[in-house]
Amino acid sequence: MGYVPMSLHELFSSCDYVSIHCLLTPESYHLIDRACFACCNPNLFLINTARGGLVDEEALYEALGSGKIAGAGLDVFEKQPPSTGNPLFTLGNFLAGMHVAGSTYEALERNGKAVVDSVFEAVGIDG
């Protein structure tokens, strides 16, 4: 299928882009930490649109500030909403976004329909 299994540290040392897509669990908390950044390809751009807490933000700040990685973009933070004083916001190689991918017109319409269908089902009405 065109992929090569590798460790997280091998991934970080060999890739220019890493996009995180996993659940936040006790085992994945700070999955991306100083150890990952220590072996990074300096051209790496890290993207996290999954869950805050997967990336150790203090370690990310250090990696971005020292040039260990080229850049990062997050739309999720360990503390939501993020503080305006978050030091990541002071860096020119950091981009913050809004975690709103599920807020499209179509997604909101589907969610609304699902709620109505659930109410109809609960009261025994065939919708």
CATH number at residue 84: 3.40.50.720
How high is the pLDDT of residue 100?
64
pTM: 0.77
Residues 90 and 120 occupy one common structural domain: no
Q: Please, which residues have CB within 8 angstroms of residue 32's CB and are 6 or more apart in sequence?
A: 20, 46, 48, 54, 55, 56, 59, 60
Q: What is the pLDDT of residues 16-45, one digit of tens each?
A: 999 999 999 999 999 999 999 999 989 999
41 located within any domain: yes
State the Cα angle at 52 between 74 and 59, rounded to 5°: 75
Residues 92 and 109 occupy one common structural domain: no
Q: What is the pLDDT of residues 57-115, one digit of tens each?
A: 999 999 999 999 999 999 999 998 888 999 999 999 999 987 666 667 787 788 888 88
How high is the pLDDT of residue 103?
67
pLDDT over threshold 80, residue 122 = yes
Domain that holds residue 120: 100-127
1 located within any domain: no
